[in-house]
Amino acid sequence: MTTAIAFEKAKAENRAALVGYLPAGFPSYEGAVKAATAMVEAGCDVIEIGLPYSDPMMDGPTIQDAVHRALTGGVRIADVFRTVEAVAATGAPTLVMTYWNPVDRYGVDAFARDLKSAGGSGLITPDLTPEEAGPWLAASDAHGLDRVFLVALTSTEERIAKITDVCRGFVYAASLMGVTGARGAVDTGAPDLVERTRGVIARRPETAAPLPVGLGLGVSDGAQAAEVAGFADGVIVGSAFIKRLLDAPDEESGVRSVRAFTAELAEGVRGRAGTA
């Protein structure tokens, strides 16, 4: 299943898609695969596998902690591809979320080739601008991969247009200014960001492929998932999954906690606020 089909399937069910994030190698290589598989089985439509990186810019303390443990545990890019291959075998579209430097150093076309070979669906690149994305645009076209760029609360309509023009799969709306992490409330500017982004997408040529808007950063429970699902096409959750693994006394109980939390979020996106 492609990312686009996963979003279309959720839309046909009158709900938002649930997108879950976990870094490869956390709490272990096997633990990450088990947790991501549990997320799919309990209701996640799309999975993001984080590529652990030593110099994160957007990640808050929860993800930083998980990534540090993955790196000290010895995870490497080959393990990221192995994780993608195992998770993609569940049938869920599986994308890699990564800063650009590791891709550039690995070799852009080689990274795209190996990601495709592993069954990956594409990349989410929080620090890559459309102006600097030429090699990735070419490689993603050559290997048939999605490319997800981010829009932010401060993005102008002109900027959103540049970003959505190069997106494929979905566009990632970052609802917070600052780093990742579960919050007690969704930022009040989030609905406006989604509305402005949809307005820009609506002005694209009729021949352009549909481009849903997923909203991420800050969702911590089913009620917030329902709130976000009331105005966005996708609800993206990361830190709250990781916290359940960090707080668990052992890996097995952590995976059980992740499974239960996914079910809560899946129920939330199906009971989204503001819809019939």
Q: Mind telling me the catalytic residues?
A: 48, 59
Question: Cα–Cα distances in Å, from 74 out to 106, 190, 238, 241, 245?
Answer: 17, 37, 22, 22, 18
Find tokens 């490497």 and name the residue: 76
Torsion of CA 127, 83, 9, 209, to 10 degrees: 40
C-alpha dihedral, 145 to 37 to 54 to 164, nearest 10°: 30
Distance, in Å, from the CA atom of 57 to the CA atom of 59, rounded to the nearest integer, reads 6
Strand partners, 123: 96, 147
CA geometry: angle at 155 spanning 152 and 159, to 5°? 125
In this structure, are residues 143 and 171 in contact, taking their beta carbons and an 8 Å threshold? no
CA neighbor of 232 nearest in space, from 252, 215, 249, 253: 215
Token representation of residue 186:
């969704």
Q: What are phi and psi of 126, to 5 degrees?
A: -65, -25
Phi, psi of 105 (to 5 degrees): -70, -35
